[in-house]
A and B are shown apart, each in its own frame.
Chain A
Amino acid sequence: MVNYQHRRLDRVFAALVDPTRRAILARLEQEDSVAISALARPFAIKLPTVMKHLDVLGEAGLITRSKHGRTVDVRLSPAPLREAMDWLARYERFWSPALDRLAAHAEAKEREARALEARAGLKPE
C-alpha cells in the first residue's frame, strides 16, 4: 500500500519533468475537458507523440480519458498532483524554520568570532 503510493508519486514527478506534458496539463487546467485532437493542435508534434505523452500522464493518474462517440476527451485529475505538492509542502515546513534558526545560530557565532578577532587585533603579538 505504502509502496504503491511511492511508485505512483514517482510516476507523477517523472510525468511532470517534460515541458510538453506540463503544457498539456496547463491547458487542461483552463478547460474542463479537451478532445485529444484539439489538445494536439498547439504543439509542433504529431498525434502519436501526443498520445504517448497522454499515456505517461494517464499512468501517473494525472489525467482521465473518456470516449464520446468518435472523440476522446481528456480531463485533469487533481489527486496525484495534490499528493506531490504535499511532499514539497511537508519538507518546506520542516526546512524553512530550521534554516532560519541555522542562520541565526551562525550569525551569533560570527559575532563571537569577530569579537574574539577584534580583541586579538587590539593586542597584536
Chain B
Amino acid sequence: MTSLTLVRRIAARPTIVFEALSTAEGVAAWWGPDDLPVLSAELDARVGGAYRVRFQTLDGQQHEAFGECLEVDPPRRLALSWSYAFGGEPEEARRTSRVEFDVRPIDGGAELTLTHTRLANEASLASHAQGWTGSLAKLVGRLGALTANSQKE
C-alpha cells in the first residue's frame, strides 16, 4: 500500500484554505490536472455527505470523480473517498482510494498537506508507507537499464 503526499505553503489563513477545499465553489476553482474550467462541482461537507466533480483534461476527455466526506473537521482536516464515475485511468475503474487534506496554521498563512492513499487490504501498513517512497524512487531510477537488459535476453 502506498500514499502520495504533497505539501503546499499558502499565504492564506487556514479558514480560507479550508473553504477552498470544502465548498463546491472553492473546488470548482482548482480541481483537475489541467488548467481548464471545472465542468460541475457538488460537495456536501458533512460526514457522509457526497461530492462529485466533473472535469476535463487537455486531451479532450471528461472525467468525473465522486465519493463522500469521511472526516470533516474545519478548518483542520477533510478526508474524502475517491472513485471515478467515468474517465480516469481504466485500471482505476471501480477502485476506491482515500484523499486527505490537512491544514495547519503557519506564520503568514497555512500549510496544506495532501495525502492520497491507495487502499490496501491491511490498513496497518499505512504507518510504514512513508519510509519506502524514497527507496522506491531510487530503484525506479534503474528500471530503464534493467528493462533494457531483460529485453535483450
Residues of chain A having any CB pair with chain B under 8 Å: 2, 5-6, 9-10, 13-14, 16-19, 22, 25-26, 29, 32, 76-79, 81-82, 84-85, 87-88, 90-107, 109-110, 113
Contacts and interface: CB of A to CB of B under 8 A. Distances in A.
Given A2-B90, A101-B30, A10 B121 contact: yes
Contacts of A78: 142-143, 146-147, 150
A32 B146 CA distance: 9
Nearest to B125: A17
B16 A14 contact: no
Nearest to B148: A78
Nearest to B97: A91
Contacts of A17: 1, 125, 128-129, 131-132
Contacts of A109: 12, 16, 19-20
Interface string B117-130: 01011100100110
Interface string B82-104: 00000001110111000000000
A14 B114 contact: no
Contacts of B143: 78, 81-82, 85
Contacts of A29: 138-139, 142, 146
B43 interface: no
A45 B19 CA distance: 51
Nearest to A10: B120
Contact of B114 (A25, A32, A99): A99
Interface in B15-29: 16-17, 19-21, 26, 29
B12 A106 contact: yes
Contacts of A18: 128
B4 A110 contact: no
Given A97-B35, A101-B35, A110-B16, A88 B139 contact: no
B7 to A, nearest CB: 9
Nearest to B134: A22
Interface in B61-100: 89-91, 93-95
Contacts of B122: 14
A76 B142 CA distance: 11
16 contacts: A6-B91, A10-B1, A22-B132, A25-B135, A26-B135, A76-B139, A82-B140, A84-B136, A95-B33, A102-B17, A102-B20, A102-B30, A102-B112, A105-B20, A106-B16, A110-B11
